[in-house]
Structure 1
Amino acid sequence: MEYLSNDKLLIVGAGGMIGSNMVQSALMLGLTPNICLYDIYEPGVHGVFDEIQQCAFAGANVTYTVNPEEAFTGAKYIISSGGAPRKDGMTREDLLKGNCQIAAEFGDNIKKYCPEVEHVVVIFNPADVTALTALIHSGLKPNQLTSLAALDSTRLQQALALEFGVQQDKVTGAHTYGGHGEQMAVFASQVKVDGKPLSEMGLSAERWEEIKHHTVQGGSNIIKLRGRSSFQSPAYNAVKMIEAAMGGEKFTLPAGCYVNCDKCGFKNVMMAMPSTIDKTGVHFVEPAGTEEEMASLAKSYEHLCKMRDEIVELGIVPPVAEWKEMNPNL
């Protein structure tokens, strides 16, 4: 089997459903034969290792460990789903304190064991602040670390495709920006359905509000239907993000990235933006939208600032003015 790269890919949280799906997706897409599975729960990660070995991927060199030094050393690419799962009745923000402490340790392990890593994708919730925490602690450059945000956009795309009875890839420009949570900003002005602007599709304001609500509650809907949080869709999207960073197909759905932009008016947060991930990292541009959409984005940004300030108050990250002491690249 021909692989895109021979570099070491580390999957953190590999013993869970998202992690195990990421391992399988990475091998099926032929990203690299050299994949390390890391988890703190040995029976779980051991079981995933056995299952992957029993798939018999040609040329695969899969290993597993519960030792962070062994896991992180030599890793060139990392995807982490290593946080606590979201349960029924919980918002992403409910997970903030515990998962940000996990993210701080994750970033410390990167700085200690693999400072030469090329790209990191963080997908455990609340992803905006766990990724920000990991970035501050890791010492990486902002373009080297992204968080999963595309899932909100693909949920919006799916809802519109079902609404108009078209193939999902016929819906373009269906994007959400800002936070990966209940305060996300859902944009309609750039959407086209089979090439036709959404504004010309006869969608009522009431129905659009219902679609927006369904998009925002997409994660909760999966929990209600399946009895557990999403795992296939976040796993696949995360692997496609790391594939792009490895030099494969560019990833053009919104990614959560570090934004400190005077022109945009957004400072010192991780947030979903119009972005591209390629071999050189993640790059974003300023969103374009209606006055109402931009106001919604500003509101989402304010919410992200509050969550950021909360983890500062908890002592998980230092005050913004001191970030450069921990990470000179910020």
Structure 2
Amino acid sequence: MSEPIRVVVTGAAGQIAYSLIYMLSRGEVFGYDQPIILHLLDIPPMMEVLEGVVMEITDCALPLVVGVVPTADLSVAFKDVEAAFMVGSMPRKKGMERKDLLSANVKIFKEQGEALDKYAKKDVKVLVVGNPANTNALMCSKFAPSIPKENFSAMTRLDQNRAQAAVANRLGLRINQVRNVTIWGNHSSTQFPDAFHASAQINGIWKPVAEALNNSPWLKDEFVTTVQNRGAAVIAARKMSSAMSAAKAAADHMKDIWHGTAPGTYTSMAVLSDGSYGVPADIMFSFPVTIANKQWKIVQGLSVDDFSRSKLDVTAKELLEEKQDAVALCQD
């Protein structure tokens, strides 16, 4: 057995965390021989609910969990953590504008960034799930200056999983017979799900998805809008937002950071833009990346046609606006 690692989950009494904590505790992210100490953070009014979650963790009798630290104290939650799942955020409420949502969450992620900077290990890997995830991750990183900016990312893996499943279903394939579907941009309805560089395994042979489908209009229209609006569709059907699938995506995302991407494959995650593909620098933008030794690299050299360019520009514009609003709010 390895030495235990400390892992924090914020919003730990919430729906996403309820599924995520079990996946972490089973070893599905960090490894089936990696003990963990769970740091579970939530706000004071949720402490009784969180105690019930702790009771369930105990009752699961999970051998990899060697400690559980439920708390509402940031200094306790982030002390010596090596991985952070930033799930907790203010949800959008009826009548709330995007700027209102940003205003509430910028303050949360500013405080949590400062706590990470002060208490977490300097090699901590930080995944932001709480929305607006891209801009929350950007602001969190800005208030944790001693932690490398490359250690912060925001989750677009749920969108990638949705897109990969949509292509697989369209082709009548299993999910592992489709690879390298990309999500570009923001985790919002402006994101660009891109299957033009993806491959599908047909009769044992990997072929471009566009060739396998022979249906470019579907890839440019219904596929894009279905993935963009999938979260809203889940809410309409379930009367609650995606939780199980979001938790699975968060686990997938951190597992790839921890163990790397398989040869010939890449994954989507929002990382700090370096100007690749003409995207403005210093915004958290979802790119296709490969990962090795816990370090990501943006996949270079993918073709971007006029259709794709227009989609990248729209989502980049939204992220620039969010960044400007968030920076202004931090100066208030």
Residue identity over aligned pairs, in percent, reads: 23
2:57 aligned residue: 52
- Higher mean Cα deviation, 60-69 or 202-211? 202-211
SS at match of 1:116: coil
* Change beyond 3 A, Cα 1:7–1:278: farther
2:99 and 2:230 map into 1 onto residues whose CA distance is 15
2:133 and 2:188 map into 1 onto residues whose CA distance is 9
2:297 aligned residue: 283
1:309 aligned residue: 324
Match of 1:39 among 27, 39, 42: 42
Cα deviation, residue 217, structure 1: 0.4
Deviations 1:114-161, CA, capped at 9 Å, x for gaps:
252421111111111000010001112121111101111111111111
Aligned pairs for 1:21-170 within 5 A: 21-28=19-26, 29=28, 30=32, 31-40=34-43, 41-61=46-66, 62-86=68-92, 95-114=101-120, 116-139=122-145, 140-170=147-177
* Change beyond 3 A, Cα 1:11–1:207: closer
1:272 aligned partner, one-letter code: S
1:274 aligned partner, one-letter code: P
Match of 1:234 among 242, 246, 252: 246
* Residues paired across the two proteins, number: 314
1:116 and 1:99 map into 2 onto residues whose CA distance is 23
Cα deviation, residue 14, structure 1: 0.9
2:276 and 2:291 map into 1 onto residues whose CA distance is 22
Deviations 1:254-283, CA, capped at 9 Å, x for gaps:
111011337744211001011134433332
Match of 1:181 among 188, 198, 223: 188
**TM score, norm. by length of structure 1:** 0.86
RMSD: 2.4
* Change beyond 3 A, Cα 1:241–1:197: closer
* Change beyond 3 A, Cα 1:83–1:228: same
1:120 and 1:75 map into 2 onto residues whose CA distance is 10
1:8 aligned partner, one-letter code: R
1:92 and 1:253 map into 2 onto residues whose CA distance is 28
2:155 and 2:98 map into 1 onto residues whose CA distance is 13
SS at match of 1:125: coil
* Change beyond 3 A, Cα 1:191–1:59: closer
2:261 aligned residue: 250
Contact 2:82 2:121 in 1 (8 A): no
1:326 aligned residue: none
Deviations 1:83-141, CA, capped at 9 Å, x for gaps:
02356887877632212221111101111222524211111111110000100011121
* Change beyond 3 A, Cα 1:191–1:227: same
Cα deviation, residue 206, structure 1: 5.2
2:209 aligned partner, one-letter code: L
Q: Which runs of 5+ in 2 are unaligned?
A: none
1:138 and 1:312 map into 2 onto residues whose CA distance is 15
Deviations 1:150-201, CA, capped at 9 Å, x for gaps:
1111111111111221112212222121111111122232123322323322
* Change beyond 3 A, Cα 1:236–1:279: farther
1:190 aligns with 2:197: yes
